Amino acid sequence: MRIDVVSIFPEYLAPLELSLIGKARQDGLLDLRVHDLRDFTTDRHRTVDDTPYGGGAGMVMKPEPWAQALTAVAAEGSGDAAGAGDSGDARKPVLIVPSPAGERFTQATAHQLAEEDQLVFACGRYEGIDERVLEWAADHFTVRPMSLGDYVLNGGEVAVLAMVEAIGRLLPGVVGNPESLVEESHSDGLLEYPVYTKPSSWRDRDVPAVLLSGNHGKIAQWRRHEQYRRTAERRPDLLAGFDAGTLPRADRTAF
């Protein structure tokens, strides 16, 4: 997979050189490139923003540097560096625009996006990007404004760190043991069960006895029950769309 990130703070994306994602890049599983939006300006001051039409607080990102940057990364991604145009067989890259006004980014979104050939992240700052950029971009990209949740960040960069990590770890070969992707929160609609390691008694607290029993059927049933109990307590909203048929009988009737 190829990922391009366009930002006025490319240094913000430095953590993508570390850990699992950094290793995936080194191993050639992920071709991730960060671009400075100011490299696509033409004026002496490398201006990327201007005052909003209609008035109001803050500044808005100017459209032309974005069009230049996005055209360049789309051409690079399709192997069409000279800009000769689309040869016709490749899929459109997906343009993800991080914004608190976007559609909610979920584990399902991460799985969908992990199947794409090229993702481009457009990090807005200030009050956002001139809306016409998103309209224009629809000819060249599948445009998806995406939000992490109902709170406001200063710009898209931190959200991109989160989304790239969520997507990148789903790419084949990135997580060493693919089994660890199966029994984690949100993989099956419930939160994950609690985990314990040695010692079996620690500061007067014992590991639940069932986990020491060696009875794998019982252990699986206990873990499923704990998933349900946690989800009901912390995220009851998740139970609304959940198929109770996969739960232990006692939890099923509690629905």
**Is position 231 an interface residue for ligand 6GU (rule: CB under 6 A)?**
no
| C-beta closer to ligand 6GU: residue 32 or 122 | 122
Q: Binding residue for ligand 6GU (CB under 6 A) from 98, 118, 119, 222?
A: 98
Please enumerate, as own/partner, the contacts of 25-28 that have beta carbons within 8 Å and a separation of 24 or more.
Answer: 27/173
Q: Binding residue for ligand 6GU (CB under 6 A) from 129, 159, 164, 170?
A: 159
**Is position 156 an interface residue for ligand 6GU (rule: CB under 6 A)?**
yes
**Is position 155 an interface residue for ligand 6GU (rule: CB under 6 A)?**
yes
CB 223 within 8 A of CB 195: no
Q: How many residues bind ligand 6GU (CB under 6 A)?
A: 14
- CB contact set of 197 (below 8 Å; sequence gap of 6+): none
Task: Quote the crossing angle between the two packed helices 157-168 and 19-26, to the nearest 10°.
Answer: 70
Taking CA atoms, 79 is separated from 61, 118, 248, in Å, by: 28, 11, 52
**Is position 58 an interface residue for ligand 6GU (rule: CB under 6 A)?**
no
Dihedral angle of Cα 209, 213, 219, 221, to the nearest 10 degrees: -80
Residue 214 tokens, joined: 């060696």
| C-beta closer to ligand 6GU: residue 1 or 148 | 148
Contact set for ligand 6GU, span 134-153 (CB under 6 A): 146-149, 151-153
| C-beta closer to ligand 6GU: residue 125 or 223 | 125
Q: Is 152 annotated as a binding residue?
A: yes
Distance CA 167, CA 4 (A): 13
| C-beta closer to ligand 6GU: residue 77 or 155 | 155
**Is position 34 an interface residue for ligand 6GU (rule: CB under 6 A)?**
no
Backbone angles phi, psi at 62, to 5 degrees: -65, 145
Q: Is 189 annotated as a binding residue?
A: no
Distance CA 14, CA 207 (A): 39
Binding site, by residue number, is 124, 148-153
Contact residues: ligand 6GU, CB under 6 A: 98-100, 102, 146-149, 151-153, 155-156, 159
Instruction: Could you list the residues known to form a binding site for S-adenosyl-L-methionine, using ranges.
Output: 124, 148-153
